[in-house]
Structure 1
Amino acid sequence: MILKHFQLLTERQNTKESVYFSLKVGDVVHTLQNERDVMSLYVSVHDDPAIERLLIEAYKLTDDALLRLPSWVTVNFPSKFRSKESFITSLTEMRNQTESLTYKEVTRQFADDIGVFIDWMMNAVKEERDSDIWAELVAFHMLINGKECIGVQLSLGAYFFTHGGLDLKALLWYKANHDLGETFLGMFESYSAVAFKSRLDHIDIELESRMQVMQQKIIENTTEVYSTEEGMIWVENMTSYINQLNDVVRALADYITMRTNEEIFNHRLNVTVDVTVLVITMVVACLVSFVIYKISKSIDRVKKCLQEKTMHLEKEQKRTESLLSQLVPAKIAKRMQESIVEPEYFQSVTVMFADISNFNTFMSRSTPNELLELVNDVFDVFEKQLEKRNVSKLGSTGNILMVACGLHQKHTKRHTEDIANLALDLLDRVQQIQVKQAFGEKVKLKIGISTGAVIAGVIEGKLPRYCLFGETVVEAQLLLDTCLPLRIHISETTYSQLSSKKMYLIKERDDIPKKNGSVQKKTYWLCGNLNSTVLQIDLDVNNSLV
């Protein structure tokens, strides 16, 4: 609750700052509107000393309002708004070019600049949408927009009453601002009863009626009398009306500030109450905690003793689990801790044996330390590749690795693909191992793969082993034994599984080895995967995509 009240307090303080900033921006907008109106009249009549004096006075009012602006919202476009200094420089350049400007150029340039300042003010409404005074904030900015439309009408009307008419483009521009201004002012009154009352208090009805008569002449684009004096009358009436609208702006801003201050006071009071309750609660909690501390002292001693024993047991359990997970697959290890693991029959499993074919050559050319270092590098590659896949490591004997897929892994229907991709990656990665010059050649793997039914179970003993039995295992071992270096030797069942995928390069083996004088089953070389960037085995595999 205290955080909520503190957040509301912060929001209301931000609202107050936003209203203050909007009011100061409104002062800048008002002075820019006044400068635009006088400058439009000046460029319409030229060389009128009285109007020139008014223009110089308008310059000073605008400069003072800009200097009083508490901060600046930096925007990159237009570039003049990057800083207050760059805007003042741009405004000064425009003032120096007054003699060469037309009333349309003056009106358009000021309208664009004032539009940017009004956008700054509108952002405050967006940020305070959930506030209780949101309706007054919307009315405030509707009034600012309506006042700007009146200002554009003033500039265009000054030319009308000094020259007797407007061209079609200027007339359409005037009508658009006239209609839009009426809309903004009408919406301003409807949003807030306070806004409606403020307008009744500050707007002179008689002045508004005179202004409407003159506005109608401009809309009809007809006047019998036009002169500098008529232009001055129009400017004076419209300026008075805009000043009265500005009084409404200030009255509404004062009301918003008052409401905001009330809300800030209430939220500060709530925060103070919340903090007081929190302090009392903390004092009581400390007293209760002291009593509990005395009681729990003896309990802590017993707890510490139990924790030490528990930590010792957990450490031993983790050591046991770690050792067991090295001997059998993780899921089997978990099941062994919970109950006896019964042997299982798997209809389709892919088994792979991998061997370093030139291991004996390395033995004859290296020291024991060098050989062990090489084997460690090879098995490090094996382990990293196994971690990436749903493949179970079933053991290793010397330089031979045995893995299987399709036992307890997810997506078991893809076990043949997983083993095939593993074999291709192993063949590629192992060849990249940097060997010592004394070895004379790179590591050459040979791999045998077979797919079929197996029986799996745990062989109990001092070191339990998870073993596979069946013809599939024997066949995979035989494929390894008859494999050539840097080759992946697969069975016919594995070939059948992969052939349906249409993305592997496979070639039938021509020189099928014989066993006991009899011809063996067909076997195949797995040469590559079209979807992989790893090394493709260099065989004649034209027309061998399956």
Structure 2
Amino acid sequence: MAKVLPMEDIEDFEEEDELDMVSKHKLEEAAGKHDRVSLASSSSGDSASATLMSSHAMKMGLYSINLGTKFGQRMHAAHMLILPLIPVFILLAQNGTNYATFILQAEEITNVQDQVSNAVDLSTLAQKLQEERAAVALNIFLKRSPTDDLQSLQNLVTNDVDIRKFTLFQTFNATDTVLQSVTTWPDIVWVDFFETKLKFQIQHSIFRTKIREGEKSIFDVLNWYNEIINFILDYISLSIHDSDVSDFYRYIIGFKNLLRSVEYSGKSGIYALRYFSQGTIERHHHHEFIRFEILRKEYLNQTFNFMPELRVEYEKAAKAQLYEFAQSLVIKLETYPNANDSLVASVGYFSQLLEYAASTQKILDGLTQGIEKFVAKELARFESHKTVPLALLIILALFIPIVAYVTLQATTSMFNDILLTRRFSEIYDEKVETYKREKKKTEKLLTDLLPRQIIHQMKKGKVPEPESFNSVSIFLCDIVGFTSLASESTAHQIVDLLNTLYNLFDIRLENYDVYKVETIGDAYMVASGVPEVNDHHAAEISKMALDLLAKVVTFEVQHKPGYRIKLRMGIHSGSCVAGVVGTKIPHYSVFGETVEIAGLMEATSEPMKIQITESTMVLLEQSGSFNYIQRDQTTIPEKLGNMSTFWLIGRSNAGIDHNNQQNGLTHEKEL
């Protein structure tokens, strides 16, 4: 049963207008009394003021301040001083944070600048080691002496590469020169010979000596160079941190991936040289070549994904070269074109490999220059931007003493007779606002329980007479299996469930021209056309029923996860009598055969369906905005005779109003 107010509350509601005047007179009397006390007690200092203000403490959240005491006035002055400065302190913190952020970002860019510089030196060393590896492999495959020059082989070169510079002596010297220029050595302490640059030079010199003496096979060479180059590349990848500054990460990732791609081209090149020099290649070596070739292309594509502008430059260089074509020959195990013997094929491929490495290195150099320019630009930008928050910090620091001085001067003049008079005015305003809020609460509570026109009649002392309504629509629904659900739940859980469900229904009812009559247990009754007459009551009650049905589909029972409640709904249109029943606890209700038939429609309905009578269907037919089908068979009491009933299944497209289009409340969409 819906909660209602006793008659005493309605009488209080009727007399609320008188309260405003009474409160006003009381406050005026209090203010006048204060004036008299102030005049009579002026010789006693602050005691009268303190006595008067002790009952009017200022609330400050969790505590209050008594303005009638010196301590309270000092506290109030402190509040007046601190509160205006809070925004200033916030701005100080904000600009201080911005300034610190710019400083940190500038330091980060400076660190990245150093990291990039070291990475460039190490990448140059890696390039020379790659060339040294290729030169050693060529000499081993062609079985040439380390002291032989390559003049005789230059005539076999078909491009602009000068392979005469790639004797062992020259490549070793070139690598040593670059090695001497490296200022920062990789901190790879877990590898003994890589702990310092001197240890590496000694170890590498020993290995070179064994190469000259023919003590190292091609696989020893490949393993050694692959290992030391991988150490260098890994260090480069770890030493350059991926910065969050702008789109700098694109340059860094592109740089790292391009270095890896060049390295895998060198690794696959060793196996390709072996194939062209011997005319054959072992199966597992061929698989290694294909693996390195796939990795080369994968890292190259990753570079282009982050730096699309490099693709055009690369493809332009690739068109003028035969490197990609030569790589495909090894994959297919085909012979080198126009090569009469293995020497021509080996030299031809070696020159193509060097040309490809040179063109890729050119792209890498351009990318390195782009990184250096970007770093310099970002560093300049951060240096310029940090001046703004610094200037604001100085201005705000100067502004604080000015604000403090002005605030203290303003608060000094507040503690006088004008302040007390103003305080009484504020107290009066607060009382009025409190009264208005309570009045609104009472009005809302009454209008939720009784129709507004009934309240007005009862306020005037009239007893509302019952009214007859020729055409109304009554809606009833209840929860299927409620008894079983109640037996499996506690009383508290059932109350929470009904409160949640009925609150949902009450909110939806506000969108329609309907009136909630009452709730009894799990039964929910709504009427349209009463107490205010309207010609569209059947359509309003039907739209509401479809809306409630749609909401129930997604309603969850909190204490039974996964359990979905189902409703039976019934609607009937006809005449009824409505009026207020009771005097101690008045209640507005509806009576008549229409209510009984609506209850019968609900009782004989099926779960999650809305059963309507023929009279409701006729009214809905006039609106032409609803879809329904006739029910095949139902059991109707004999006293009602033959009765056709229908299932209300939804609304037609022509009948969907603008609000339903916005909120998606049609039954068909919810299902």
Which TM-score applies when normalising by structure 2?
Answer: 0.41
